[in-house]
């Protein structure tokens, strides 16, 4: 079965640039092109949800210059999703608003509003995102609702977005870890790790990951 929800940890922009003898920001720039390619491919393949890990709560520890460049690039990329070629893409946001520059928040809100009735693909942008924070925020929301006997479904309903869980989680660049991504939602996800660096990850690479997913036997603890 085709994955309904694919989540990607887009890693390796810095190493891509270094290998080419280019400044780091060139890696991020080509990485933004890979974002557009992944969205196009997801649309063509009939994927329902695409989650992209764009900036983690830990990424604030990077040099100010790099953060500023990434934020500008994010703002520019966000603008593209109001273009006609993305008329089937609905943008949603997962992360903490606090800490993000108002330039980004304004743009995010605009694009979320402009795309809210789009149906084919939900693009879940994980920005200033950390899974531990997401679970902590969910628990605090539940406490504020006055609930005491907390069920799994309460946590699920209070995550940043109420989306189907990811069937397939991809991480590029050869690293094999979650880096605080979707800890709750990944309970039964399939993982796909590739050495390909994110700026090189284009249509054929995503199709390969989907083909690999199709070979997996998902048991969910059951016995056949
Ligand atoms: C991924 O590429 C982009 C972000 C984490 C924002 P990196 O910048 O982490 O690239 P590497 O891992 O240093 O190669
Ligand atoms: C994970 O990549 C975060 C994103 C892709 C946005 P990092 O490059 O920040 O992760 P670590 O530090 O290698 O675990
Ligand atoms: Mg990295």
Q: What is residue 224's predicted lDDT score, i.e. its pLDDT?
A: 72
* β-strand pairing of 49-56 with 168-171: unpaired
Q: What is residue 82's predicted lDDT score, i.e. its pLDDT?
A: 94
Ligand 2 atom showing the smallest separation from residue 54 Cα: 6
Order of strands, sheet of 121-129, starting from the edge strand that comes earlier in the sequence: 89-94, 121-129, 49-56, 5-9, 168-171, 190-193
Strands (E) across the chain are located at 5-9, 49-56, 89-94, 121-129, 168-171, 190-193
Q: Which ligand is nearest to the CA of 200?
A: 1
* Ligand 2 contact via 56 beta carbon (within 6 Å): yes
Report, as residue numbers or ranges, the catalytic residues. 11, 59
Condensed to tens digits (0 to 9), the pLDDT of residues 152-192 reads: 999 999 999 999 999 999 999 999 999 999 999 999 999 99
Alpha-carbon separation of residue 158 from 9, 61, 89, 181 (angstroms)? 23, 28, 23, 17
Q: How far is the CA of 4 from the centre of ligand 3 (A)?
A: 26
Q: What DSSP character marks residue 165?
A: P
* Ligand 1 contact via 199 beta carbon (within 6 Å): no
Angstrom distance (rounded) from CA 9 to CA 209: 13
Site to probe by mutation for ligand 2, drawn from 35, 52, 56 as the one with most ligand atoms within 8 Å of Cβ, is: 56
Domains of the chain and CATH, by start: 5-213 (3.40.1180.10)
Q: Which ligand is nearest to the CA of 28?
A: 1
Instruction: Tell me which residues of the chain have a pLDDT lower than 50.
Output: none
* Ligand 2 contact via 59 beta carbon (within 6 Å): yes
Q: Which two tokens stand for residue 67?
A: 């953060």
Condensed to tens digits (0 to 9), the pLDDT of residues 147-159 reads: 999 999 999 999 9
Ligand 1 atom showing the smallest separation from residue 28 Cα: 3
Q: What is residue 1's predicted lDDT score, i.e. its pLDDT?
A: 86
CA angle 7, 213, 208 (to 5 degrees): 85
Q: Which ligand is nearest to the CA of 8?
A: 2
Residues in CB range of 148: below 8 A, 6 or more apart: none
Q: What is residue 223's predicted lDDT score, i.e. its pLDDT?
A: 86
Bridge partner list, 56 = 129
């Amino acid at each position: 079965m085709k994955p309904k929800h694919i989540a990607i940890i887009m890693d390796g922009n810095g190493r891509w640039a270094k290998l080419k003898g280019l400044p780091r920001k060139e890696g991020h720039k080509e990485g933004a092109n890979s974002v557009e390619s992944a969205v196009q491919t997801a649309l063509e393949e009939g994927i329902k949800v695409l989650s992209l890990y764009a900036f983690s709560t830990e990424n604030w520890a990077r040099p100010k210059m790099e953060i500023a460049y990434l934020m500008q690039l994010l703002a520019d990329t966000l603008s593209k999703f109001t273009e006609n070629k993305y008329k089937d893409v609905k943008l949603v946001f997962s992360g903490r608003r606090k800490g993000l520059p108002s330039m980004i928040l304004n743009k995010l809100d605009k694009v979320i509003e402009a795309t809210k009735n789009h149906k084919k693909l939900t693009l879940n942008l994980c920005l200033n995102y950390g899974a531990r924070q997401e679970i902590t925020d969910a628990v605090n929301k539940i406490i504020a609702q006055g609930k005491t006997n907390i069920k799994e479904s309460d946590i699920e309903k209070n995550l940043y977005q109420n989306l189907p869980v990811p069937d397939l989680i991809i991480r590029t660049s050869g690293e094999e870890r979650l880096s605080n991504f979707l800890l709750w939602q990944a309970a039964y996800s399939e993982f796909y790790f590739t050495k390909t660096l994110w700026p090189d990850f284009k249509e054929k690479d995503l199709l390969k990951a989907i083909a690999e997913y199709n070979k997996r036997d998902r048991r969910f603890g059951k016995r056949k």
